[in-house]
Structure 1
Amino acid sequence: MRTDRTLTRLDRVFARLDREPERPAHLEIPRMSRHRTVLFGSTLGFYLAIVVAVLTTSWLVRLDWQIMFFRPYEQWPELHAFLDYFVVLGQRGPTAVMVAAWLGWRSWRQHTLRPLITLGVSLLLLNVTVGAVKLGLGRLGPHYATQIGSAELFAGGDIFPSGHTANAVVTWGILAYLASTLRTRRYLSVLSAVVALGVGATTVYLGTHWVSDVLLGWAAGLLILLALPWFEPLIAVAEAWILARRDELRTRLRERRAPVPVPVPVPVGVRPAMYPQRIPAVEEEPPVRKPVGTGRGAATVSATSSRTTAHLSSPKPHTVRSERTPVTPVGGRRPPHPERVSRNPSARPLAGG
């Protein structure tokens, strides 16, 4: 009986991710090609044209007022509840957290910090460029407009260009920029474009932005995505520096966690177990000088020497000098002499003989 089950699309996706422990070697870092350069120049021209059209209060400003008076949220009120939640996809905080979580997991799987650093660089460029234009032009939004037909510039506002739209283009477009395969990059490019267009149109529907704000927001976000290849060398340097600091920190932590050997006090008279116990050497007896005489005295000395040699060669265990019984030579201290007459008081000769 076969027990194989049909793999779902989700199973195939996770199986593919499991086979990708490192960054694919075939994936090339995007370069500033001729095609990308042409797109960047065209988008920059469109960006400047929108700014000039608003500054000169051209037909684009009149279109802004016509759509504002049309009030789309009153024409289609049934979409209001859904679009209130959909516009969150353009808010910087929630979208940055979601995309950073995904790219963080990709960085851990691929053993590289490039996705997270690229996201940080793109958000930094977005805040600097869009924020500077917002504060510099100071345009008011539709709900705060004071003069009909006016561009409402330099009035202390911060609505031009649309931050929601530019953030949607950059945040979701960075996923397509960092895609692993060409097919995935195409799918994510279409998805990010749909989300960015939807967020921009939603802000116009809700009446929070002019049409010109949304157009400039699309152009501002696309300029950042197209300019990212110029920052790839900087991203590589930042990644190498961060990894070097991480390795230094790991080395320091390992050195701090390494156990320090503590010397163990050894009691007096006890040798450590790492050194072998030595058997005390047996001190040899001083050599016995042979006396001048011969005969019985010489025989006695020879017998003493043989007993000492037999004692040393015996298989008995050696003992310390202080524990051995002293050896006393047999007989008197003075060796006997054959010609010496014993002192017997009864054998003393009589005087006068």
Structure 2
Amino acid sequence: MRIDRIFARLDREPEPPEIAVPGMSRTRKVLFGSTVAFYIAIVWLVLVSSWLVLLDWKVMLFRPYEQWPEVHAFLDYFVVLGQRGPTAVMIAAWLGWRSWRQHTLRPLLVMAASLLLLNITVGAVKVGLGRLGPHYATEIGSAELFLGGDIFPSGHTANAVVTWGILAYLATTPRARRWLSVISATVALSVGATTVYLGTHWLSDVLLGWAAGLLILLALPWVEPTIGRAEAYLFELRDRWRARRTPAPAAPGPVEPVSPVVVPSIRPLSDAAAAREAVGAGGGRYASTRPAQHLPAPAHLAPRPHTSRPERAPVTPVGSRRPPQARGGNGAHAPHPAR
């Protein structure tokens, strides 16, 4: 299957260097505490309809989209960088490639954990406060709370801080972390300001959105142990799935018993006994000798019928062996010459 080829290709990638996981340092704790205080202060100023609410109304009545209409078309597309769906797809593609090269699921799991925390925290405050947006405001100078709205804090702004800030959080070198921090901060601030320009959010919505997203990024080191356990569990599931997909070797069948082969014992014979058996089989002087019964006679020593001498083929050519000059004219022997 295709997923098997993907895992095989992943296993052939070179092992990456050791990646340092950010810890909850003292500086990070101070920043986290300061951001929490800023978050609470924004919520309190909106609840009591303070000067911040009046500033919201002044900016809304200024109508920035009417003051600079020439950038309206561009900012309509630019604000997409804060929408959860498109940004999640873009960032997930990059982090998926990082996971492939580094043999780890941590980048994708960090993104998933961040978006989960973002949806829970921001969504709970949105529904709990129920603030209406500028286009649906009913009373000038009112905070428009608990009226069934869902814009406080700004989801676009918080999502831009988290999704683009993850790139800086997962950077493996100090230089890359600095550059990505600047880029992600610029995108997050620009997306928040764009929502105010378009009139879809109050200024206080954007301020709280920046704080909400920053709190998620600062709290990620506390979530790292859970992410590590989740990664180990997913790799264990992968190994189990591989074990089930790999065909088991065929079990050997039952072994049939083999009947023993009886090998006849061969008793060595002496040369004399072997000669007697051979001659006896031929019918000579030892014709009466009883042939051996434990082994069959060889084919070239098999008994043949005994023939009489006249029936036998001559073994010498016809005529005398002496040369012709040794005989007389009538065939008599010539006398030997006198010596």
TM-score tier (shorter) = 0.7 to 0.9
Q: What amino acid is aligned across from residue 44 of structure 2 in structure 1?
A: V
Q: How far is the alpha carbon of 1:180 from its aligned partner?
A: 1.4
Runs of 4+ residues over 2 Å off in structure 1? 20-24, 258-263, 279-285, 298-305, 307-312, 327-330
Q: How far is the alpha carbon of 1:24 from its aligned partner?
A: 2.5
Q: What amino acid is aligned across from residue 131 of structure 2 in structure 1?
A: R
1:339 alignment counterpart: none
1:150 alignment counterpart: 142
Q: 1:128-167 maps to which residues of 2 (within 5 A)?
A: 128-167=120-159
1:22 alignment counterpart: 15
2:223 alignment counterpart: 231
Identity of aligned residues (%): 68
Q: 1:255-294 maps to which residues of 2 (within 5 A)?
A: 255=247, 260=250
1:322 alignment counterpart: none
Q: Is the 8 A contact 1:100 1:116 kept in 2?
A: yes
1:186 alignment counterpart: 178
Q: 1:1-353 maps to which residues of 2 (within 5 A)?
A: 21-25=14-18, 27-255=19-247, 260=250, 299-300=286-287, 302=289, 304-305=291-292, 311-312=297-298
2:278 alignment counterpart: none
- Secondary structure of the residue aligned to 2:291 is helix
Q: Is the 8 A contact 2:20 2:172 kept in 1?
A: no
Q: How far is the alpha carbon of 1:304 from its aligned partner?
A: 2.3
Q: How far is the alpha carbon of 1:28 from its aligned partner?
A: 1.5
- Equivalent-residue separation in structure 1 for 2:165 and 2:50 (angstroms): 31
Shift of the 281–33 alpha-carbon distance from structure 1 to 2, 3 Å rule, reads same
Q: Which runs of 5+ in 2 are unaligned?
A: 1-12, 268-282, 307-339
- Equivalent-residue separation in structure 2 for 1:135 and 1:252 (angstroms): 46
The higher radius of gyration belongs to 2
1:9 alignment counterpart: none
RMSD: 3.1
Q: Is the 8 A contact 1:23 1:112 kept in 2?
A: no
- Equivalent-residue separation in structure 1 for 2:175 and 2:30 (angstroms): 23
Shift of the 195–21 alpha-carbon distance from structure 1 to 2, 3 Å rule, reads farther
Q: How far is the alpha carbon of 1:200 from its aligned partner?
A: 0.0
Number of residues of Structure 1 aligned to a counterpart in Structure 2: 272
TM-score for both structures, normalised by structure 1: 0.71
Q: Is the 8 A contact 1:65 1:149 kept in 2?
A: yes
Q: Is the 8 A contact 1:31 1:229 kept in 2?
A: yes
TM-score for both structures, normalised by structure 2: 0.74
- Equivalent-residue separation in structure 2 for 1:163 and 1:105 (angstroms): 27
Q: Is the 8 A contact 2:126 2:152 kept in 1?
A: yes
Q: What amino acid is aligned across from residue 22 of structure 2 in structure 1?
A: P
- Equivalent-residue separation in structure 2 for 1:70 and 1:189 (angstroms): 32
Q: What amino acid is aligned across from residue 15 of structure 2 in structure 1?
A: E
- Equivalent-residue separation in structure 2 for 1:221 and 1:308 (angstroms): 104
Q: What amino acid is aligned across from residue 24 of structure 1 in structure 2?
A: P
Shift of the 71–111 alpha-carbon distance from structure 1 to 2, 3 Å rule, reads same
- Equivalent-residue separation in structure 1 for 2:304 and 2:294 (angstroms): 12
2:280 alignment counterpart: none
- Secondary structure of the residue aligned to 2:33 is helix
- Equivalent-residue separation in structure 2 for 1:78 and 1:120 (angstroms): 38
1:293 alignment counterpart: none
- Secondary structure of the residue aligned to 2:157 is helix
Q: Is the 8 A contact 1:24 1:180 kept in 2?
A: no
Shift of the 261–172 alpha-carbon distance from structure 1 to 2, 3 Å rule, reads same
Q: Is the 8 A contact 1:43 1:219 kept in 2?
A: yes
- Equivalent-residue separation in structure 2 for 1:237 and 1:66 (angstroms): 50
- Equivalent-residue separation in structure 1 for 2:288 and 2:139 (angstroms): 141
Deviations 1:282-328 (A, max 9, x none): 7989xxxxxxxxxx9x95452523x986825x699xxxxxxxx9x89
Q: What amino acid is aligned across from residue 297 of structure 2 in structure 1?
A: H
Q: Which runs of 5+ in 1 are unaligned?
A: 1-19, 264-274, 286-295, 317-324, 331-353
